[in-house]
Structure 1
Amino acid sequence: MLTKQAITKKLDTSSEKAWAAIRGIDGLDRWFPIIETCRVEGSGVGAHRHMTLEGGQITDLIEAVDDSRRRFIYLRTTSPFPVTHYRGTVEIFDSYDGRAVVAWTIDFESQPQDSQAVAALVKQAISDGIDGMERELKAGA
């Protein structure tokens, strides 16, 4: 079953700072409470991001880093979650008030009986990660 889970939040920071954080590829272990370590091999498109969490390993292949559209796309190639396909797209937009709006969309495929639980996990984890990124950006401002 193909499922789309979108999380959008206005951040208390500029879109330039938010995009710099996202395009840096790393940092997920600082932002996401469930991620213990984050290590990157390579840079830009084709890089691999390896993460550990209590339940296993995650590996992402970076598919796109588009500075003009502030869009970052990754394919999850290794996951401890019950998915057969997982692609994330992170986009940063300008709000009318000069703040950043982050739109993080996950497209995943799973068995029908798993889709609701995976969608809930993804929504909570991504929301926590966005909050963590915002805290780090505000602390460094």
Structure 2
Amino acid sequence: MTEVYTSSVIGAPADQVWAAIRDFNGLPSWHPAIAESRIEGGAPADQVGCVRAFRLKDGGFIREKLLALSDYDFACTYSILESPMGVENYIATLKLSPITDGGRTFAEWSAEFDCAPERADELTDLIGNGVFQGGFDALKGRFGG
């Protein structure tokens, strides 16, 4: 099992950041790598079990299933159902915590997955620095760092 963990501080209160990222179908509005997204079957975007299908700006196609969503904890957990990355059993959690000093947010994004052993370092870098940090950097650009 390969593990990835990325954290950051965003210069806005957690409830404001959560409002921007809570929508499971809203990736294109805040993540720079996502071109378009839709929820399959017309399910609500906050319904546990819904599946989002999205296209990356580089043309890649990914399907993910929402496993948990907590407005109380500012957290969501999802799995990858289909991806060009070569990962299996991929489960990720994006969680926000309030930083009371200055009204900021501590953001954590982690994942566990199986992959070919020779690709573990490459995928850890791609997911941790590309996907997770790329999303955090975009949120910091939007809200302040």
TM class by smaller structure? 0.7 to 0.9
Q: Which amino acid aligns with 2:29?
A: R
Aligned twin of 1:84:
88
The DSSP-based 3-state class of the residue aligned with 1:25 is: coil
What RMSD over aligned residues (CA atoms) do the two structures have, in Å? 1.6
- Kindly state the Cα deviation for residue 137 of structure 1 after the two structures are TM-superposed: 4.2
Gaps of 5+ in 1: none
- Describe how 1:73-112 pairs up with structure 2 within 5 A: 73-97=77-101, 98-112=103-117
- Kindly state the Cα deviation for residue 108 of structure 1 after the two structures are TM-superposed: 1.4
Q: Which amino acid aligns with 1:66?
A: S
Aligned twin of 2:64:
60
C-alpha contact (below 8 Å) 1:5/1:119 kept by paired residues: yes
The correspondence for 2:125, drawn from 120, 125, 128, is 120
Q: Within 1, Cα distance between the matches of 2:140 and 2:27?
A: 12
C-alpha contact (below 8 Å) 1:55/1:80 kept by paired residues: no
User: Moved runs in structure 1, 4+ residues, more than 3 A?
Assistant: none
Q: Tell me the TM-score normalised to structure 2 length.
A: 0.86
Gaps of 5+ in 2: none
Number of residue pairs aligned between Structure 1 and Structure 2: 137
Q: Which amino acid aligns with 2:142?
A: E
- Kindly state the Cα deviation for residue 15 of structure 1 after the two structures are TM-superposed: 0.5
Q: Which amino acid aligns with 1:72?
A: C
Q: Tell me the TM-score normalised to structure 1 length.
A: 0.88
C-alpha contact (below 8 Å) 1:31/1:128 kept by paired residues: no
**Identical aligned pairs, as a percentage?**
27
Aligned twin of 1:48:
51
* 121 and 8 in structure 1: CA distance in 2 versus 1, 3 angstrom threshold: same
C-alpha contact (below 8 Å) 1:26/1:39 kept by paired residues: yes
